[in-house]
Structure 1
Amino acid sequence: MAEETKCACGSANVAIFPCAGAANVGQLSNKIAVELDQQGLGNMMCTVGIGARAPRLMKSAEASDRIIAINGCPVKCATKTMELAGFKVGHKIVISELGIKKTKDKDLKDEEVAEVLTKVMEILQSE
């Protein structure tokens, strides 16, 4: 079965909430969430919508079996947003803890995206 070849996060009911902040690590967070969504490992959702308490988005998050927060830096805005809204975050990933230095550069390098995606996949498979 195809489902068995996917990482432990693979499910129709996995919600992925990225940081999408202004720094490179925030942009990487968003890009990784897009990649995970495109690979069918979860559904990327709007973290800001949770902060705004958008009713439909809140219902979608409530209906999720698992929540992944992909933070850019140690401030952990994505995780905090979800927790302040009352959600339990199963995976709390921080891009800057994966060997990526936080900068103001928003020009993401393909090799950096691939490196971070590999590391995130390893984290999701190990937990």
Structure 2
Amino acid sequence: MTGNVKCSCGSDSVGIFPCAGDSNVGQLSNAVAVGLHKMGVGNMMCMVGIGGRRSGLLKSAEGCERVVVIDGCPVNCAKETMEQAGIRMDKHILLTDLGIQKNKNLDINPSEVKDILSKVRAIL
């Protein structure tokens, strides 16, 4: 991980929450979150823990200076989960808005991950 790379907002405490759903775009959201985490843009965090109302994970999310939510499709499960938990979101990214068609193929292409990661990074 590169220590000096971070969110363009200047924050050292960025929580990244992907939907990780059962479609290509859900899996892409997870892969993008992993990529952002490895780049040092922020810390990938557990969306399921937010939905499960796990106290430690809720406190961690509330303690972030910025919260980035990555949904794969317009169902917006991750965004809705954060709203129901009362967690403020600073940025919501919808991968289908970036020109990706949703399908049920869970095998994601590494070049597609790289392309979408680049687009998401530019948004941040």
TM-score, normalised relative to structure 2: 0.92
Structure 2 CA distance, aligned partners of 1:6 and 1:65? Answer: 13
Residues 9 and 76 from structure 1, CA distance in 2 versus in 1: closer, same or farther, beyond 3 angstroms?
A: farther
**2:6–2:12 CA contact under 8 A, matched in 1:** no
SS at match of 1:20: coil
**2:26–2:73 CA contact under 8 A, matched in 1:** yes
- Please provide the CA RMSD for this pair: 1.5
Shift of 1:79: 1.0
SS at match of 1:116: helix
Structure 2 CA distance, aligned partners of 1:20 and 1:35? Answer: 14
Residues 28 and 67 from structure 1, CA distance in 2 versus in 1: closer, same or farther, beyond 3 angstroms?
A: same
Q: What letter corresponds to residue 45 of structure 1 in structure 2?
A: M
Structure 2 CA distance, aligned partners of 1:46 and 1:12? Answer: 18
**2:70–2:78 CA contact under 8 A, matched in 1:** yes
1:65-124 deviation per Cα after TM superposition (whole angstroms, max 9, x unaligned): 110000000111111111111111111001111111000011111111111011101111
Matched ranges for 1:25-104 at <5 A: 25-104=25-104
* Stretches (4+) displaced over 3 A: 9-12
Q: What letter corresponds to residue 67 of structure 1 in structure 2?
A: V
Shift of 1:7: 4.0
TM-score, normalised relative to structure 1: 0.90
SS at match of 2:27: helix
Aligned residues: 122
Shift of 1:6: 4.2
**1:24–1:105 CA contact under 8 A, matched in 2:** yes
**2:7–2:42 CA contact under 8 A, matched in 1:** no
Structure 2 CA distance, aligned partners of 1:24 and 1:112? Answer: 11
Shift of 1:12: 3.2
- State the partner residue of 2:121: 121
Structure 1 CA distance, aligned partners of 2:32 and 2:10? Answer: 15
Residues 34 and 10 from structure 1, CA distance in 2 versus in 1: closer, same or farther, beyond 3 angstroms?
A: farther
SS at match of 1:74: coil
Mark the runs of 5 or more structure 1 residues left unpaired by the alignment: none
